[in-house]
Structure 1
Amino acid sequence: MAQFQPKLVLIDLDGTLVDSVPDLSYSVDQTMLALGLPLRGEAAVRTWVGNGVQTLVERALTNTLDQPADPAAFEQALAIFMAIYAENTSQRSRLYPGVVEGLDFLQSCKALKVACVTNKAAQFTHKLLRDLGIFERFALIVSGDTLSEKKPHPLPLLYAAEQLGVEPTDSLMLGDSKSDVKAARAAGFKIITVSYGYNHGEDIRDYHPDAVIDSFQELTTLIQCA
């Protein structure tokens, strides 16, 4: 029996819809090469993504999850990364298996609104969604630089609900990380997480989402169309 009857589903991008780490990792390593620093590799980048490009670059510079980088070095690295990633936003990134089928199901629910809420900057978000053929699936796209705050702050979720005329109590977040869980709880949303995403190496179940799925195809049994 379906557990959720939302009027709005907000979906995260990186680690939920798209495996974007191959492009991010390539861009990080090319940035490190340009700076004469060691390559960081895809395994490390997978533990660093999810909090926006600026944080990713800082983590790559320090080769840690939470150490601050030298401001001058950071500005130099960020400029290099942005230029490289602009040319490599969707070269290696792919939709996860089951995403298209899950989106098809959500779109079949005529009264259900579907939006994308991500910490990724708009210039990269829009290109990635367009290149992977799912841009038109979303009634609204809220990127990391759309507002003054980004996840785990609840503002992006509350903004999306307000823009689409849906109460938070009738809304559902679909994400992959503790930032998504924290944002959803603070906004009064229900939260489903995927098991395969980016959560800094931690088990997403430790953050107690309302449900965990291995594929978007499972949404057909969890969500009831209004």
Structure 2
Amino acid sequence: MQFPIRPEMVLIDVDGTLVDSVPDLTFCVDAMMQQLGRPPRGEAAVRTWVGNGVERLVRRALSGTLDGEPTDADFDRAYPLFLELYADNTSKRSHLYEGVREGIDWLAANGYRLGCVTNKAAQFTEPLLRDLGIRDAFELVVSGDTLAEKKPSPAPLLHAARQLGVAPDRALMVGDSVSDVKAARAAGFLGIICMSYGYNHGQDIRSAGPDAVIDSMTQLPTLLSPATD
């Protein structure tokens, strides 16, 4: 892909892209484990497990592995505990990554239409974005439970494009994981830019083949065209 480009819409992921939510997620995982009489998992492990929604995170925490599955009984006991904990700890420790606010401000100032597409459930996404002061930057938010499918399915991205009346080949995705790359490719998006610092199960996101990898959203002006008027 030849940069700079001028998409009509930019969709941005939340966890690992806009927000470092691992501190809150780790608190909730470890508190859940304590209530279950089990040892804590710790932040390093949680960082490799996030990115596919809280249900998957709970399953990983219980099994101690990325692909493991707990028993149904264990999950049915643990999941409500986690939901209750996370409802009270959605944004107490989470924070915007450095450069996010500046990047969003630049996109808005240069006329880019902005949407948010995340695998996090709406009951957590909306308060998190509000508490961190960026909810109003987005015309729409597609959460993990908005549709029947989540990323890496292209469905959430295509839904956002339809809602805003933008052709997929005029839309850009900004994310941090292989799920974002797969979703953008399957949706026929113009491109996918990934953050180097995000959550990709411990793997370098460059191996997923995004169109560009940046260290901060303050670098978006080097890849996107400014307003022409």
Distance in 1 separating the partners of 2:21 and 2:5 = 28
1:11 is aligned to 12
1:59 is aligned to 60
Distance in 1 separating the partners of 2:142 and 2:19 = 16
Distance in 2 separating the partners of 1:125 and 1:7 = 24
Which letter maps to 2:193? I
Which letter maps to 1:58? R
What are the superposed Cα offsets for residues 76-132 of structure 1, whole Å, 9 maximum, x if unpaired?
Answer: 11100000010000000000000000000000122x210000000001000100000
1:225 is aligned to 226
What are the superposed Cα offsets for residues 19-59 of structure 1, whole Å, 9 maximum, x if unpaired?
Answer: 00000000000000000011000000000000000000000
Which letter maps to 1:56? L
Question: Displacement of 1:2 after TM fit?
Answer: 4.3
2:126 is aligned to 126
Distance in 2 separating the partners of 1:3 and 1:175 = 18
Distance in 2 separating the partners of 1:221 and 1:50 = 27
Distance in 2 separating the partners of 1:160 and 1:109 = 20
1:69 is aligned to 70
Distance in 2 separating the partners of 1:177 and 1:107 = 24
Q: Secondary structure at the match of 1:116?
A: strand
1:199 is aligned to 200
Q: Secondary structure at the match of 1:9?
A: strand
Question: Displacement of 1:4 after TM fit?
Answer: 1.7
Distance in 2 separating the partners of 1:202 and 1:55 = 18
Question: Displacement of 1:225 after TM fit?
Answer: 3.4
Distance in 2 separating the partners of 1:165 and 1:34 = 47
Distance in 2 separating the partners of 1:59 and 1:21 = 14
Q: Secondary structure at the match of 2:81?
A: helix
2:147 is aligned to 147
Return the TM-score normalized by structure 2: 0.97
Question: Displacement of 1:202 after TM fit?
Answer: 0.2
2:214 aligned with 1:213: yes
1:35 is aligned to 36
Question: How many pairs were matched up?
Answer: 225
2:21 is aligned to 20
Which letter maps to 2:100? V
Distance in 1 separating the partners of 2:226 and 2:219 = 14
2:49 is aligned to 48
Distance in 2 separating the partners of 1:149 and 1:134 = 25
Identity fraction in percent? 63
Return the TM-score normalized by structure 1: 0.98
* RMSD over equivalenced CA pairs, Å: 0.9
Distance in 2 separating the partners of 1:147 and 1:12 = 16
The runs of at least 4 aligned residues of structure 1 exceeding 3 Å deviation read: none
Distance in 2 separating the partners of 1:170 and 1:53 = 31
Q: Secondary structure at the match of 1:193?
A: strand
1:80 is aligned to 81
Show structure 2 runs of 5+ residues with no match.
none
